[in-house]
Chains A and B, each alone.
Chain A
Amino acid sequence: MKDTAQHTKGKVSGIIANLVIVQVDGPVAQNEICFIRHSDTPLMAEVIKVLGDKAYVQVFESTRGLQPGMEVDFAGHMLEATLGPGILSKNYDGLMHDLNTMTGVFLKRGEYTAAFDTEKKWGFTPLAQAGEKVTAGSWLGEVRENSIPHKIMVPFKLEGQYTLQSLAGPGEYPVTETIAILTDSRGQEIPVSMMQQWPVKRAVKAYQGKPRPFKLLETGVRTIDTLNPIVEGGTGFIPGPFGSGKTVMQQAISKQAEADIVVVAACGERANEVVDLFTEFPELDDPWTGRKLMERTTIIANTSNMPVAAREASVYTAMAIAEYYRSMGLKVLLLADSTSRWAQALREMSNRMEELPGPDAFPMDLPAIISNFYSRAGIVYLNNGQTGSITFIGTVSPAGGNLKEPVTESTKKVARCFYALSQQRADSKRYPAIDPIESYSKYLEYPELQKTLNEKIAPNWINLVEQLKNILLRGKEAAEQINILGDDGVSIDTHLVFWKAEAVDEIILQQDAFDPVDARTPIRRQKYMADKILEVTGTNLSFDSYEEVNPYFKRVIATLKQMNYSEFESEGFRQYEEELRQILEERKTG
């Protein structure tokens, strides 16, 4: 980035929707931020193309009323996130302006609120000592942000090695106050406060290595944890046609996942869904700490009616916040709903700039942009040896529900977990509608994860999961046979294979996200139910005719379901378990 005190100025010369052409009088950089002066209101915009002395900028606001000749001030930096204590529990727009401190019911153009309170004092505890060698991301001290140990770090922008010349002692400081002085190799002093800026489109690289993920990230959703687990630092995506339950799925994960920090990017989706989060998160308990969910959560809301250009920025803002907390050695879960809207924002812009289009009119570099973004997730070894992770799960809204479209295909190449939502399952109200056979978790093949799963859950866990998957697969084949040949055209065994798979489907896969007990199943309970279901499917049962199979299994499933609805190991739970034993006894052989 150019580094001049004198910033470039310009004048508006053309306007096409939110693309504005600016005639400039000096140097400009790609992705540089500028402000268009509309009357007294500065409207924020980003340079996306430069041709001669014309800068093409995308405006993060409505361009209604803009006129040629209006003045433009260039800021000399790219789009930046402001990082520091106070980010948690906040609701931001796509550019990290605090939505709660804005005035009025309607959004006002050019109302740019601060990311957090700069006057609030934080109780600071030093973690480093004067004289230490430090680099970007080194921990200097700690404050408590909603009970989370928030590390105050050497700003990410500082390259190379520094010496910590002095550090503030324990005490209360506002984020703007200098708490440390660093000196570089030439002895120049650099003051550091608790707040820093970072260009959101750049990845934070203040760590020493990125190993392959190896630890389960529990979500409490059975079809994920048991069958296709996501891991700390893993990537996953949920494509699905509308109405298949993407958002309910993401919300369940955001509420239940075993994470220290949750960053939700509501990217071009329905405002009422964000309102759900605003309303529920301050009320709901974090199942892991018992504190309120909102205390660990930050929401970036660029709903579908908010300016399109800010939609693209919103996912990067969310990622920058996630990287900031990862550098503190925390487990961060980042959710983006939906990445397709972000891709569409890119398409709208590319279209206005009259670029030659790629497939479905998306820009040619879409796959590169997507893979670059996903690659910012991961578990890392920080320079001090601690680990931190960003687990990223994005939803994709494929046009027409067709998975052979550019966004889904590009995402499939980079995300390691694939949770395919099936319209058919959704139509028959089998929620969550994740197709157990189409979906996969590549992590299950990682020996390092297999090892930790077997240690954490049960010695033969991977084997049990394979058995469950096998039952589902064989059940699907049996269902096809029954459909083609008719109930009486297949053997009783085929009916049994079908119904055993139904039992796995109803009891393991299906889960009532709105039932207080069933919504979240801790891993120990998942293990218990997996064993239970394998006990049922492993029991030899005898029937005289196929007509007896259906009513019998309906009873088995109904009883197992009551177990799912009961508190784990409660009296009711045991009672249904006993009932199940008796039902099995009725037809047990050998």
Chain B
Amino acid sequence: METRAFQRIYTKIEEITKATCTIRASGVGYEELAMVAGRAAQVVKIIDDRVTLQVFAGTEGIATNAEVVFMGKAPSLKVGEALAGRFFNAYGEPIDGGPKAEGEEREIGGPSVNPVRREQPSELITTGIAGIDLNNTLVTGQKIPFFADPDQPFNQVMAMVAMRAKADKIILGGIGLTNDDYLYFKNVFENAGALHRIVSFVNTTEDPPVERLLVPDMALTAAEYFAVEKNEKVLVLLTDMTLYADALSIVSNRMDQIPSKDSMPGSLYSDLAKLYEKAVQFESGGSITIIAVTTLSGGDITHAIPDNTGYITEGQLFLRRDTEIGKVIVDPFRSLSRLKQLVIGKKTRADHPQVMNAAVRLYADAANARTKLENGFDLTDYDERALEFARAYSERLLAIDVNIDTEKMLEIGWELFARYFSQAEVGMKQELMDKYWKAD
């Protein structure tokens, strides 16, 4: 970020906190970018001629006579085809040793799409994972997070989804990614030979936390370029949004704002919504789909971060280790894709909704039977059969390593119904049972 000629340089900082500094300046615009002793900063408050700057990299070592230069614009990214295959930091500077990105300069965090110009999402994204395709079908233009405990393999599952989904571009926003996970993603992308359709913006745990605030906006600005200008199907991966929210709370704390629930800023909902709502299906065919990760502490989804996220996103996916089969599955009870109604039974076979519901209901009966067993009660014949069904259902459909198409999933579903239950127990619409029931 070079300075322009004839710029006014300020050298008298009046106040310094851990994340902000304040100087007297004029002609400064709100949210304008500035350089403080060579570090990027943004205007967050103006009262008369007193301008408060949030310094992304922190204020350690900044002196009261440090040079402050205003850039006359909000933080921005140069967008173009050349972004593809590249790795950048939170400021959009290359970290892969390659040249600087060239292209048209766009301010990040731009305006929202007029809701009447959106299209209703209607194209499904297949992943081969039954816990998603069968039970929680994803649709282009959707936004959905994995709610995961830190020890769960969410990044691996997300990488798997990204590689299998037929997206034109995949944009990775790594927010406080560990170096190991960063290398893992890089490796997966390279091995799949998919690097040419991937753009990454990465802030690792080694980088200052406040810088993380820029990563999702950078990723989404790039995504908007490909979706709007190139009419591409763009998949954005954001991991981990909990660290993004933590960075928000650091800043609001330093600005003396009154915290609301769980020490989070009162504007958390709006802050998160501004990002997630960038997911969109355009009339022109381009789309932005967001798959994010929100790590939980101790599985608590009532914490302000997952709670606000759940109200914004179109469903959520939970991973769980199924102890019966010893594999990771997408939890059929707690997971939900809100947009699945737009495609299941329409873009997929007509029996999809009912097969999905019946299987989950029977799986729930098995869970009840298991509780009974644990409490030392006798099982009925139905309970026994439900348990056997649940095991087969987990193993042949839910396990994350199963990779089959949706029609095959439905076939297996019918096969399992007929093996373990009577028609009355499955209780679907009669016409569907007449058509698909697999008599032995």
Contact A304 B424 (CB under 8 A): no
B425's nearest neighbour on chain A, judged by CB, is A554
Q: Mark A158-187, 1 if CB is under 8 A from B, else 0.
A: 000000000000000000000000000000
Q: Which of A215-223, A323-331, A398-406 contacts B (4 or more CB under 8 A)?
A: A398-406
| Smallest CB-CB A-B distances: 8 pairs | A400-B302, A304-B273, A305-B277, A242-B310, A361-B260, A14-B47, A65-B29, A486-B377
Report which residue of A15, A401, A557 has the largest number of chain B beta carbons within 10 angstroms of its beta carbon.
A15
CB distance from A356 to the nearest CB of B (A): 9
Taking the complex as formed, is B246 at the interface, i.e. its CB lies under 8 A from any CB of chain A? no
Report which residue of B141, B273, B308, B333 has the largest number of chain A beta carbons within 10 angstroms of its beta carbon.
B273
Taking the complex as formed, is A347 at the interface, i.e. its CB lies under 8 A from any CB of chain B? yes
Given contact pairs A14-B46, A68-B49, A99-B115, A271 touches B357 in the complex (Cβ within 8 A):
no
Report which residue of A278, A348, A565 has the largest number of chain B beta carbons within 10 angstroms of its beta carbon.
A348
Residues of A within 8 A of B377 (CB): 486-488
Contact B113 A271 (CB under 8 A): yes
B interface, size bucket: 35 or more
Contact A271 B261 (CB under 8 A): no
Given contact pairs A16-B45, A271-B115, A357 touches B26 in the complex (Cβ within 8 A):
no
Contact A243 B310 (CB under 8 A): yes
Q: List residues of A (547-590) whose CB comes within 8 Å of B's CBs.
A: 547, 550-551, 554-555, 557-558, 561-562, 565
Contacts A64-B31, A345-B270 known; 10 new A-B pairs at CB < 8 A: A68-B46, A242-B311, A243-B336, A305-B112, A305-B273, A338-B311, A399-B308, A550-B382, A554-B424, A557-B427
Cα of A272 to Cα of B144 in the assembled complex, Å: 13
Contact B112 A344 (CB under 8 A): no
Taking the complex as formed, is A275 at the interface, i.e. its CB lies under 8 A from any CB of chain B? yes
Taking the complex as formed, is B48 at the interface, i.e. its CB lies under 8 A from any CB of chain A? yes
Residues of B within 8 A of A304 (CB): 269-270, 273-274, 277, 312
Q: Which of B53-61, B117-125, B177-185, B195-203 contacts A (4 or more CB under 8 A)?
A: B117-125
Given contact pairs A14-B47, A65-B31, A272-B120, A402 touches B302 in the complex (Cβ within 8 A):
yes
Q: Which of A106-114, A467-475, A524-532 contacts B (4 or more CB under 8 A)?
A: A106-114
A interface residue numbers (CB < 8 A to B): 13-17, 21, 62-68, 91, 99-100, 102, 104-109, 241-243, 268, 270-272, 274-276, 278-279, 301, 303-306, 308, 338, 341, 344-345, 347-348, 351-352, 354, 357, 360-361, 397, 399-402, 427-429, 486-488, 514, 547, 550-551, 554-555, 557-558, 561-562, 565
Contact A303 B112 (CB under 8 A): yes
CB distance from B107 to the nearest CB of A (A): 8
Taking the complex as formed, is B334 at the interface, i.e. its CB lies under 8 A from any CB of chain A? yes
Contact B427 A561 (CB under 8 A): yes
B381's nearest neighbour on chain A, judged by CB, is A547
- Count of A-B contacts with CB under 8 A? 203
Contact A67 B114 (CB under 8 A): no
CB distance from B48 to the nearest CB of A (A): 5
Q: Of A347, A402, A558, which one neighbours B266 at CB under 8 angstroms?
A: A347
13 A-B pairs within 8 Å (CB atoms) are namely: A14-B46, A64-B30, A66-B29, A106-B112, A107-B112, A107-B113, A242-B310, A242-B311, A275-B118, A338-B311, A360-B260, A488-B377, A551-B425
Contact A270 B424 (CB under 8 A): no
Q: Of A106, A270, A306, A361, which one neighbours B314 at CB under 8 angstroms?
A: A270
Residues of B within 8 A of A99 (CB): 114-116
Residues of A within 8 A of B119 (CB): 275
Q: Mark B52-95, 1 if CB is under 8 A from A, else 0.
A: 00000000000000000000001000000000000000000000
Contact A547 B115 (CB under 8 A): no
CB distance from B353 to the nearest CB of A (A): 7
B382's nearest neighbour on chain A, judged by CB, is A550
Contact B30 A105 (CB under 8 A): no
Residues of A within 8 A of B334 (CB): 427
Residues of A within 8 A of B189 (CB): none
Cα of A352 to Cα of B258 in the assembled complex, Å: 9
Cα of A400 to Cα of B311 in the assembled complex, Å: 10
Cα of A514 to Cα of B71 in the assembled complex, Å: 54
Cα of A530 to Cα of B22 in the assembled complex, Å: 70
Contact A401 B258 (CB under 8 A): no
Cα of A274 to Cα of B277 in the assembled complex, Å: 12
A397's nearest neighbour on chain B, judged by CB, is B311
CB distance from B227 to the nearest CB of A (A): 10
Taking the complex as formed, is B280 at the interface, i.e. its CB lies under 8 A from any CB of chain A? yes
Cα of A554 to Cα of B427 in the assembled complex, Å: 8
Contact B111 A62 (CB under 8 A): yes
A65's nearest neighbour on chain B, judged by CB, is B29
Contact A400 B112 (CB under 8 A): no
CB distance from A492 to the nearest CB of B (A): 14
Contact A107 B111 (CB under 8 A): yes
Given contact pairs A243-B316, A270-B277, A361-B259, A429 touches B115 in the complex (Cβ within 8 A):
no
CB distance from B7 to the nearest CB of A (A): 16
Contact A305 B274 (CB under 8 A): yes
Taking the complex as formed, is B401 at the interface, i.e. its CB lies under 8 A from any CB of chain A? no
Cα of A486 to Cα of B228 in the assembled complex, Å: 60
Taking the complex as formed, is B415 at the interface, i.e. its CB lies under 8 A from any CB of chain A? no
Q: List residues of B (398-440) whose CB comes within 8 Å of A's CBs.
A: 424-425, 427, 429-430
CB distance from B248 to the nearest CB of A (A): 13
Residues of A within 8 A of B47 (CB): 13-14, 16, 21
Q: List residues of B (138-162) whose CB comes within 8 Å of A's CBs.
A: 141-142
A102's nearest neighbour on chain B, judged by CB, is B114
Taking the complex as formed, is B328 at the interface, i.e. its CB lies under 8 A from any CB of chain A? no
Residues of B within 8 A of A301 (CB): 115-116
Cα of A268 to Cα of B267 in the assembled complex, Å: 12
Contact A243 B49 (CB under 8 A): no
Cα of A303 to Cα of B113 in the assembled complex, Å: 10
A306's nearest neighbour on chain B, judged by CB, is B112
Q: Mark B249-291, 1 if CB is under 8 A from A, else 0.
A: 0000000011111000011011001100111101000000000
Taking the complex as formed, is B303 at the interface, i.e. its CB lies under 8 A from any CB of chain A? yes
Contact A361 B425 (CB under 8 A): no
Residues of B within 8 A of A15 (CB): 30, 45-46
Cα of A268 to Cα of B279 in the assembled complex, Å: 16
Q: Of B29, B115, B380, which one neighbours A278 at CB under 8 angstroms?
A: B115
Cα of A64 to Cα of B430 in the assembled complex, Å: 59
Residues of A within 8 A of B312 (CB): 270, 304
CB distance from A360 to the nearest CB of B (A): 6
Residues of B within 8 A of A400 (CB): 261, 301-304, 307
Contact A272 B116 (CB under 8 A): no
B275's nearest neighbour on chain A, judged by CB, is A305
CB distance from B241 to the nearest CB of A (A): 15
